[in-house]
Structure 1
Amino acid sequence: MSGPENVDRVLITAAVVLIVVAGALLLVRVNRGPSMLDRAIALDVFAAVVIAGLGAKSAYARDSFYFPIMLVLAFLGFTGSVGIARFIAVRDKPRPRPRSAGKGDRG
């Protein structure tokens, strides 16, 4: 192996280590998330971490086999995020405040 190939392998290995650490921290956030929105965002970021892991594997193997899979996962992550955001937006819609019978109501 030449010098640049060794540097490539070291950098890809460091990237995989960081991706694994990020995935572990995201699983902790999914488990401990105080709200459903925190868990949903963590799962969306987890999809991005999986895509990054597949990209690192493709770079390490110097193979483009996983690119279509990464594209499909990105599409699913996006549509899932939009669906969750829409669900939460409908659920958390502000309710109309009841009229108070004191201020400004002079019958």
Structure 2
Amino acid sequence: MPIIILFCLTLLTLALGLVFLRLFRGPGLPDRVVALELFATITVGIIGLLAIATDIALLLDAAIVMALMSFMATIGFARFVERGGPRDD
């Protein structure tokens, strides 16, 4: 089992590097927001794998909090785009 966890952590780390590349080279704001959402999702996966590997249940709570915060940030960005950008209401 540790070999599989190590392999998965390696793949997730590689994916994280590719997401950073998209984050810095993204042509527009929506591309960067999608990259941040994917970054948060991969981070939740890494935390989940570390929780399995170390058998610490508290890490799962941290993963859930991270996923919820990422979801709320995505909702906030969607509302921002829906309203057409910054306005003085």
The alignment's TM-score, normalised by the length of structure 2, stands at 0.91
Question: Is structure 2 residue 63 aligned with structure 1 residue 70?
Answer: yes
Alignment of 1:40-59 (within 5 A): 40-59=33-52
Structure 1 spans left out of the alignment, 5+ residues: 1-7, 93-107
RMSD in angstroms over aligned alpha carbons? 1.0
Counting aligned pairs with the same residue, the percent is 26
**Structure 1 stretches of at least 4 aligned residues deviating more than 4 Å after TM superposition:** none
Alignment of 1:1-107 (within 5 A): 8-91=1-84
1:21 Cα deviation after fit: 0.5
Distance 2:72 2:25 in 1: 24
| SS of corresponding position for 1:91 | coil
Distance 1:90 1:35 in 2: 17
Q: Decide which structure has the larger Cα Rg and report it.
A: 1
The alignment's TM-score, normalised by the length of structure 1, stands at 0.76
1:62 Cα deviation after fit: 1.7
Q: Count residues with an aligned counterpart.
A: 85
* Superposed CA offset, 1:43-65 (max 9, x none): 01100111111011111112212
| SS of corresponding position for 1:66 | helix
The answer to which structure has the higher helix fraction is 2
